[in-house]
Amino acid sequence: MDISSLSAKVYELLTVYGLKVVAAIVIFVVGRWVALGVAKIIKRVMIKSKVDETLVAFVRNLSYIALLAFVVIAALNQLGIQTASFIAVLGAAGLAIGLALQGSLGNFAAGVLMIIFKPFRVGDFIEGAGTAGTVEKIEIFTTQLRTPDNKTIIVPNAKLTGDNITNFTVKGTRRVDFVFGIGYGDDIDKARGIIKEIIDQDGRVMKEPAPMIVVSALADSSVNLTVRAWTSADDYWSFYFDTTEKVKKEFDARGVSIPFPQRDVHIYEHKEE
C-alpha cells in the first residue's frame, strides 16, 4: 500500500470515526450539563415545597445519576457500540439489587411517604409498631423514638406505615379520663362537689369543652364516678397525677370512702339430727 492510499484510508477513518467521537463527546458534555440543570431544578422545587432536606438530597442525587446513565448510553451508542446488552446487564443488576434490598426499599418508600404526608413531626409523642415515644429523628429508612424512661428505639419506617399510628401531640389538647369509686353509703353529690372544686381550681383545665362528672357504673363494691376534663397535651400527665392525689386526700379529709374490692362470706352450719 503506497503513502497516498494510506493517507486516504486514515483520512476516511478520521472523517467517519472522528465525527462520531466528537459527536459522542458533545452528547456527553451537553447531556451532563442538562442533567446537572435538571437536578438543580428538582432540588429548588422540593426546597420551595418545604420537603425534608434528607429527601431533597437523595432525590437530587438519584435523578442526576439516572440522567447521567442515560447520557452515557447515548454517547456510547453514537460511537457505534452496541448498548442493548449493556442495558440488559444493568436491568438484571438492578433487579438483583432490588430483590436483595427489598426490605430496605420498602423502608425507603415508607420514609418518603412519611416525609411527604407528615403523619407526625419531630417532637410529637406517637404510638405505633408496638411501641410509643417522642419522635427525635425521621430518616429515609428508620424513625428514632425516645421512650418516657429515656430509651432510644429505632423503628423501621415500613413497620410504622404498615400499622396504626396514634399521634398524641398533633391536636395540641387531650381529654383526661378518671374513674373514682365511692362507697354505696356515701353521698354522691358531696363526692361530685369535691371533685368539681378540685377541677375548677386547676388552671390547666380548659373551660371549653366543659369538664364532665357523672355516675358511670354501680359496681360490685363501689359507685363509680367518671370524670372527663380537657387540658393541653403537655400537661396531660402532670394534671392526671396531681388530680388523682388531690381527690384521694380530699376524700379522706371530708369523710368520703374509696372502697376496695371485698366479698362477704356467710357460713351456715348444718346440724345432723
Tell me if the bond preceding 209 is cis, omega within 30° of 0: yes
- The CATH number of 119-167, from 3.30.870.10, 3.90.1150.10, 3.40.50.300, 2.30.30.60, is 2.30.30.60
Collapsing DSSP to helix, strand or coil, 131 comes out as: strand
- Dist. CA 39–CA 205, nearest whole Å: 51
- Dist. CA 180–CA 226, nearest whole Å: 7
- The CATH number of 173-253, from 3.30.70.100, 3.40.50.2300, 3.40.50.360, 3.40.50.970, is 3.30.70.100
Whether residue 211 is predicted with pLDDT greater than 60 in this model: the reply is yes
Q: Which CATH class is domain 3-100?
A: mainly alpha
Q: How many residues does the chain have?
A: 273
**Percentage of residues in the chain having pLDDT higher than 90:** 43
> What pLDDT is recorded for position 226?
97
> What pLDDT is recorded for position 133?
94
Whether residue 172 is predicted with pLDDT greater than 70 in this model: the reply is yes
| pLDDT tens per residue across span 116-161 | 788 898 899 999 988 999 999 888 788 999 999 999 999 999 899 8
The Cα angle at residue 19 between residues 18 and 24, in degrees rounded to 5: 100
CA torsion 193-196-197-199 (nearest 10°) is 160
| pLDDT tens per residue across span 83-108 | 666 666 666 666 665 555 556 677 87
Tell me if the bond preceding 148 is cis, omega within 30° of 0: no
Higher-scoring residue by pLDDT: 238, 262: 238
Domain boundaries, the chain: 3-100, 119-167, 173-253
**Percentage of residues in the chain having pLDDT higher than 70:** 78
Higher-scoring residue by pLDDT: 177, 67: 177
